[in-house]
């Protein structure tokens, strides 16, 4: 056994926000923590989703004992359908998380092919040489968990996504005492959530939001229309409770919100007194100040119910004077524009809109600096690896750990693909895997590469110009004048004169009529050069030039 | 005179952030306030700038008496070169603003063609039936002004972009007393900045930033590298003052920063004790803790000095251990990603980076709620029109005015193009001009329209497929097989089999070899349908299909 090391291999989520995935490897056993997706950034044109590169695992699939999912958010579960299509391996999660994963696998017709195990927090189980136990943490979804993993070299604690919250809606706070116990006995490694390391102090409790929602339900003169993340079941519970308290009925609209409310009621994660949840058809019988609409659309998603309402495009709901809209969510970076446009449109129709800048109608789900410090202080690990964050978050978190006594050489700022090898005494980055992004676009997984994206970006910038050159196949001579067509370059109605001059220039460049024969490559290059230069001089734009040579 | 009305015509900046521009019209006189640009939003692919549509003014250019520029920021001055290319009209501004406009007009070879007047705050001048006076306001650029405009119907006050700040760096606070005087005498209309109406309380003074910069200069173990908006001359003054106090020398890098520092020194808006500003060549003679680098790049602009330093791509400056970087600016919406990537890269090289989330190294330039309330309370206008903001900002600002006693029917939420006609008693929106965005792309101003952008978006999403169909000009019959080429659709190396099947399908659809003749339109339509359906089924992507028909 001497000399065997524990390897920590982040495959996603370190150096970026999203697509969280990590492997722990010891001897011939691998366990995987999370399998998330990331939504594409602005320059990933046309890409639907981004998932981690799992080549390392696929090559070693015989060694992979299981995938542990800490909670049901997309950035921790969204890559599962793609991973499970490539590897047959059991998935372990708490009950609600398992329910959400089931919905997802059904959509991908994979539900029957996967072994999906429900785990009770506090019950340990073996996966190869690892012994795994889930522990409860608070986060912006119920049934979130951290992990306690016993390895032959010592205990590894993974925080999951967490905050402390002494007064959560489901009355199940983060399990400190278990962590303190572990800390006393000695922990080899702590992997901890870095998302909100920039924020000083403590993240406020969910209770604050509950109180504000109650006040809104009490005081709103008319309907309350409220949107939140569909998976934020505790917030939905708060809406139901506040509505009940002030004698309002709740109507759920939007496909995903309806689906999740139904499942959470079935699994016991939501409870509603009889008569509070009603069908939309009943709404017209009620006075306006007895109505709450709970809807999708907290991120300004163009096809969501709230956005359709804001655009006067919803079949059943129109904004009325006296409506109060509550956006009980914060924007996921990149969605600010969509959300702002939705808020603007709601204001335009005379609604009163409450959102994060105006009222505390949301708290986020990650711990701030003092909570991160508390976790490190309780667990007292020998080694520390910040997870979940862009590079600055990881750096700042590693520094925070140093202020709490973790030696600098024991706090590792890793990025995706770095392989950290630990023994009981020290750790080293021993290799760097080439783990890029895998893009999902339509049915294609991983076939969108550098070239395709570069072409999309180039054309998106200044359009494309096609030059169709007909040449005599025997003589290589130009037949007639070239044909020029463009898309996204200049206004087609204005372009005629420009393109006529372009045609003449190409013909001249190719020596139209002088009897020379020429090779396809030469023609192609010549056409590109001529037109690129001409169009750039005329317009200061750089369209993609695509010569098409037809031999007849 | 009876029946003549004052018209308020916002041409930009109401319902959006940026491209601020407004006209006031009375009888046959028009004056214009500001002429700004807006940087393109994410879906305006390839567009360089967005400027207001000034058709209304161009049609009435004989009536336009002057353009009043409140301050030197791009969102108030950036459209001037385009406006002045279409209209010969004098421009009025304070001294520094005039200096900045001069630089801009020189770049466009317009400096000698434009009458550019320097205005002293407090000195009134006539423009047709309007009498105009500038008054000092604090903002994130020196020499910012609001406007007092006497019209035959009463006084109009325009706040410009403003905050109060009792202790600004240049010791020239916003001129309350002048406004209070006016308020006592009666003001017809207040137009006021809505940008930060969502923020409660007061915007902190520039002084807070100065104190923090001093502490950083005192405590940083090595070099301090600081970036801010080049036009934020007061911040540059604070950097120079703090550096001087702690015996550091300041080295300016980046073209625009150098240019503005030089101009501000010449015009007397910056002062530097001898020896504080040094040339970069001198830097290597100094100990690290005596160096301050003042650089462009506060918005993560890819070609700026700071970004090149962060990417190890700057010819003279490399990050060293012990460097402290200060991002003394807040992200302009849309730039967050670029800035975060820059901060990450600086952390990667071991620098300590201080930015808005970690330290108060910037305060913004607009008044918060209490300041907006104070302005309304001092001016006590009969009518109120919130300016500068998206719809929600304008709505919230109008409501704020109502809480201060402005009747609802006298507070107007206008959007670009609305014409508000006021007499002494009441106001009505009497018309709506069709004022869209004018896009500038390369040399083209206004030629990028709906079609070009739609094409760019479509191709950016899923790429483009060209199908070259050669037909016999006499028989209309297909000659050989079609040729298929794509860009940005699928990986070219994987595409061969897909395209071969596509070619066969097209040939079949066109009845290859069956002797029918066909029209170009018919062929084109058929090819589009066939390939679109086939590629969508195979890939769930929707590339633009562009049939090119060559007749031989």
Q: How many cross-chain Cβ pairs, A to B, lie less than 8 Å apart?
A: 184
- How many C-beta atoms surround the C-beta of residue A179 within 10 A? 24
B73, B139, B158, B366: the catalytic one is B366
Asked if B540 lies within 8 A of A442 by C-beta distance, the reply is yes
* Rounded Cα–Cα distance for residues B230 and B255 (Å): 10
pTM of the model: 0.91
Question: Range with the lowest mean pLDDT among A111-125, A137-151, A172-186, A195-209?
Answer: A172-186
**Helix B450-462 to helix A450-462 angle, to the nearest 10 degrees?**
180
Closest Cα in chain B to A455? B488
Q: In this structure, is the dihedral angle defined by the CA atoms of residues B385, B389, B390 and B395, taken in order, positive or negative?
A: negative
Question: Range with the lowest mean pLDDT among A489-498, A506-515, B8-17?
Answer: A506-515
The closest alpha carbon to A218, from A253, A251, A244, A250, belongs to: A244
The model's confidence at residue A171, banded by pLDDT at 50, 70 and 90, is confident
On the question of pLDDT at B9 being above 60, the answer is yes
Residue ranges in A246-335 assigned as alpha helix (H): 255-267, 305-310
Segment 190-229 of chain A within 8 Å of chain B by CB: 198-199
The model's confidence at residue A512, banded by pLDDT at 50, 70 and 90, is low
State the average pLDDT for chain B: 93
A193 is catalytic: yes
A295, A310 Cβ separation under 8 angstroms = no
**HSE-up (13 A, CA, CB side) for residue A390:** 18
B24, B6 Cβ separation under 8 angstroms = yes
* Rounded Cα–Cα distance for residues B163 and B57 (Å): 30
* Rounded Cα–Cα distance for residues A148 and A131 (Å): 8
* Rounded Cα–Cα distance for residues A184 and B304 (Å): 51
A34, A161, A165, A193: the catalytic one is A193
Question: Range with the lowest mean pLDDT among A5-14, A283-292, B186-195, B511-520?
Answer: B511-520
Cα–Cα distances in angstroms (integers) from residue A182 to residues A122, A149, A422, B120, B339, in the given order = 13, 11, 19, 72, 40
List of chain B residues whose C-beta atoms are within 8 Å of the C-beta of residue A468:
468, 548, 550
* Rounded Cα–Cα distance for residues B310 and B313 (Å): 7
Length of chain B: 552
The model's confidence at residue A1, banded by pLDDT at 50, 70 and 90, is very low
- How many C-beta atoms surround the C-beta of residue A4 within 10 A? 13
- pLDDT tens for B51-99 read 999 999 999 999 999 999 999 999 999 999 999 999 999 999 999 999 9
* Rounded Cα–Cα distance for residues B481 and B510 (Å): 11
Mean pLDDT, residues A133-150 taken together: 95
> Is A368 an 8 Å CB contact of chain B?
no
> Is B449 an 8 Å CB contact of chain A?
yes
* Rounded Cα–Cα distance for residues B173 and B136 (Å): 7
Looking at residue B56, what is its pLDDT?
97
On the question of pLDDT at A515 being above 80, the answer is no
Q: Give how far the C-alpha of residue A363 lies from the chain's centroid of Cα atoms, to the nearest Å.
A: 19
A306, A295 Cβ separation under 8 angstroms = yes
Query: What residues have CB less than 8 Å from A433, skipping those under 6 apart?
Result: A9, A11, A55, A56, A417, A418, A419
Closest Cα in chain A to B445? A539
* Rounded Cα–Cα distance for residues B489 and A546 (Å): 15
Asked if B41 lies within 8 A of A337 by C-beta distance, the reply is yes
Segment 132-191 of chain B within 8 Å of chain A by CB: none
- pLDDT tens for B209-222 read 999 999 999 999 99
Asked if B488 lies within 8 A of A444 by C-beta distance, the reply is no
> Is A500 an 8 Å CB contact of chain B?
no
Tokens of A424: 């009981």
C-beta pairs of B450-455 under 8 Å, 24+ apart in sequence:
B451/A491, B451/A492, B452/A463, B452/A488, B452/A489, B452/A490, B452/A491, B453/A488, B453/B43, B453/B44, B453/B45, B453/B47, B455/A463, B455/A487, B455/A488, B455/B544
Query: What residues have CB less than 8 Å from A518, skipping those under 6 apart?
Result: A471, A476, A477, A510, A511, A526
The CA distance from A115 to the nearest CA of chain B, in Å, is 29
Mean pLDDT, residues A340-351 taken together: 96
Mean pLDDT, residues B155-183 taken together: 90
- pLDDT tens for B466-507 read 999 988 888 878 888 888 999 999 988 778 889 999 999 998
Looking at residue B125, what is its pLDDT?
98
Among the partner-chain residues A392, A463, A479, the one whose CB lies closest to the CB of B344 is: A392
Looking at residue A516, what is its pLDDT?
54
On the question of pLDDT at B138 being above 60, the answer is yes
- pLDDT tens for B303-348 read 999 999 999 999 999 999 999 999 999 998 889 999 999 999 999 9
């150098």: which residue's tokens? B258
> Is B408 an 8 Å CB contact of chain A?
no
A266, A215 Cβ separation under 8 angstroms = no
* Rounded Cα–Cα distance for residues B193 and B372 (Å): 8
The CA distance from A148 to the nearest CA of chain B, in Å, is 30
The closest alpha carbon to A100, from A81, A87, A84, A125, belongs to: A81
Asked if B463 lies within 8 A of A443 by C-beta distance, the reply is no
Question: Range with the lowest mean pLDDT among A383-392, A507-516, B396-405, B535-544?
Answer: A507-516
Looking at residue B512, what is its pLDDT?
54
The model's confidence at residue B518, banded by pLDDT at 50, 70 and 90, is low
A157, A181 Cβ separation under 8 angstroms = no
Asked if A343 lies within 8 A of B392 by C-beta distance, the reply is yes
Beta strands in A378-497 (DSSP E): 381-387, 418-422, 427-432, 437-441, 444-445, 464-471, 483-487
* Rounded Cα–Cα distance for residues B162 and B144 (Å): 8
Candidates B302, B310, B395: best to mutate against A (most CBs of A within 10 A) is B395
* Planar angle of CA A479, A484, A488, nearest 5 degrees: 165
**Strand-pair partners of B384:** B190, B411
A380, A187 Cβ separation under 8 angstroms = yes
- pLDDT tens for B121-131 read 999 999 999 99
> Is A404 an 8 Å CB contact of chain B?
no
> Is A548 an 8 Å CB contact of chain B?
yes
Cα–Cα distances in angstroms (integers) from residue A445 to residues A41, A52, A439, A451, in the given order = 17, 11, 6, 15
B154, B5 Cβ separation under 8 angstroms = no
Asked if B390 lies within 8 A of A538 by C-beta distance, the reply is no
- pLDDT tens for A294-316 read 999 999 999 999 999 999 999 99
Looking at residue B514, what is its pLDDT?
52
Residue ranges in B149-204 assigned as alpha helix (H): 176-185
Looking at residue B342, what is its pLDDT?
97
- pLDDT tens for B260-305 read 999 999 999 999 999 999 999 899 999 999 999 999 999 999 999 9
**HSE-up (13 A, CA, CB side) for residue B77:** 23
On the question of pLDDT at B513 being above 70, the answer is no
Candidates A199, A324, A418, A452: best to mutate against B (most CBs of B within 10 A) is A452
Looking at residue B1, what is its pLDDT?
44
Q: In this structure, is the dihedral angle defined by the CA atoms of residues B368, B369, B370 and B375, taken in order, positive or negative?
A: positive
Asked if B444 lies within 8 A of A42 by C-beta distance, the reply is no
Q: In this structure, is the dihedral angle defined by the CA atoms of residues B19, B25, B28 and B31, taken in order, positive or negative?
A: negative
In which element (H, E) is residue B385 found? strand B381-387
Collapsed DSSP state (helix, strand, coil) of residue A226:
strand
* Rounded Cα–Cα distance for residues B330 and B363 (Å): 8
* Rounded Cα–Cα distance for residues A62 and B108 (Å): 67
* Rounded Cα–Cα distance for residues B524 and B483 (Å): 14
B514 is catalytic: no
Mean pLDDT, residues A456-482 taken together: 88
Strand B130-136 relative to strand B145-151: parallel, antiparallel, unpaired?
antiparallel
List of chain B residues whose C-beta atoms are within 8 Å of the C-beta of residue A460:
45-46, 456-457, 459-460
Mean pLDDT, residues A220-241 taken together: 95
For chain A, domains (ranges, CATH) are 6-201+364-437 (3.60.15.10), 206-354 (3.40.50.10710), 450-551 (3.10.20.580)
List of chain A residues whose C-beta atoms are within 8 Å of the C-beta of residue B396:
358
**HSE-up (13 A, CA, CB side) for residue B270:** 27
The CA distance from A149 to the nearest CA of chain B, in Å, is 30
* Rounded Cα–Cα distance for residues A331 and B444 (Å): 35
Candidates A488, A538, A541, A550: best to mutate against B (most CBs of B within 10 A) is A488
């Amino acid at each position: 056994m001497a000399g065997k090391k524990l390897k920590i291999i982040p495959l996603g989520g370190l150096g970026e926000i999203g697509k969280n995935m990590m492997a722990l490897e010891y001897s011939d056993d691998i366990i995987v923590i999370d399998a998330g997706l990331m939504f594409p950034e602005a320059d990933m044109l046309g890409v639907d989703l981004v998932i981690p590169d799992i080549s390392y695992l696929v090559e070693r699939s015989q060694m992979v004992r299981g995938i542990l999912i800490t909670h049901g958010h997309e950035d921790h579960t969204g890559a599962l359908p793609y991973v499970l299509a490539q590897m047959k391996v059991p998935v372990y999660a708490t009950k609600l998380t398992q329910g959400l994963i089931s919905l997802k696998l059904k959509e991908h017709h994979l539900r029957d092919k996967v072994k999906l195990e429900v785990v009770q927090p506090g019950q340990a189980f073996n996966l190869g040489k690892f012994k795994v136990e889930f522990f409860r943490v608070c986060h912006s979804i119920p049934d979130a968990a951290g992990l306690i993993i016993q390895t032959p070299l010592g205990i590894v604690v993974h925080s999951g996504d967490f905050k402390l919250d002494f007064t959560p809606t489901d009355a199940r706070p983060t399990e400190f005492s278990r962590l303190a116990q572990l800390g006393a006995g000695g922990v080899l490694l702590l992997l901890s959530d870095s998302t909100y390391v920039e924020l000083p102090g403590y993240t406020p409790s969910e209770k604050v939001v509950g109180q504000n929602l109650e006040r809104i339900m009490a005081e709103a003169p008319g309907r309350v229309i409220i949107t939140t993340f569909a998976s934020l079941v505790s917030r939905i519970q708060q809406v139901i409770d506040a509505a009940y308290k002030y004698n309002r009925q709740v109507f759920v609209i939007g496909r995903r919100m309806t689906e999740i409310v139904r499942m959470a009621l079935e699994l016991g994660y939501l409870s509603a007194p009889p008569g509070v949840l009603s069908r939309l058809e009943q709404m017209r019988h009620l006075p306006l100040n007895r109505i709450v609409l709970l809807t999708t659309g907290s991120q300004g998603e163009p096809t969501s119910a709230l956005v359709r309402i804001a655009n006067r495009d919803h079949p059943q709901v129109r904004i009325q004077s006296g409506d109060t809209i509550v956006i009980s969510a914060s924007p996921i970076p990149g969605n600010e524009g969509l959300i702002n446009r939705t808020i603007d449109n709601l204001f335009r129709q005379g609604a009163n809109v409450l959102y994060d800048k105006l009222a505390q109608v949301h708290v986020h789900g990650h711990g701030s600096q003092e909570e991160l410090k508390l976790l490190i202080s309780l667990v007292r690990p020998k080694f520390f690896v910040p997870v979940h964050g862009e590079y600055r978050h990881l750096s700042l978190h590693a520094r925070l750990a140093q202020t709490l006594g973790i030696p600098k050489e024991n706090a590792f700022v890793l990025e995706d693909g770095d392989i950290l090898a630990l023994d009981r005494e020290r750790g080293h980055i021993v290799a760097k895997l080439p783990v890029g992004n895998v893009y999902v676009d339509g049915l294609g997984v991983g076939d969108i590469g550098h070239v395709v994206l570069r072409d999309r970006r180039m054309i998106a910038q200044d359009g494309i110009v096609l030059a169709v050159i007909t040449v005599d196949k025997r003589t290589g001579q130009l037949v007639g004048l070239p044909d020029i067509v463009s898309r996204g370059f200049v206004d087609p109605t204005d372009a005629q004169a420009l393109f006529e001059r372009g045609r003449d220039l190409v013909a001249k460049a190719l020596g139209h009529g002088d009897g020379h024969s020429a090779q396809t490559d030469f023609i192609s290059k010549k056409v590109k050069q001529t037109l690129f230069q001409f169009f750039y001089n005329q317009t200061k734009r750089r369209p993609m030039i695509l010569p098409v040579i037809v031999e007849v």
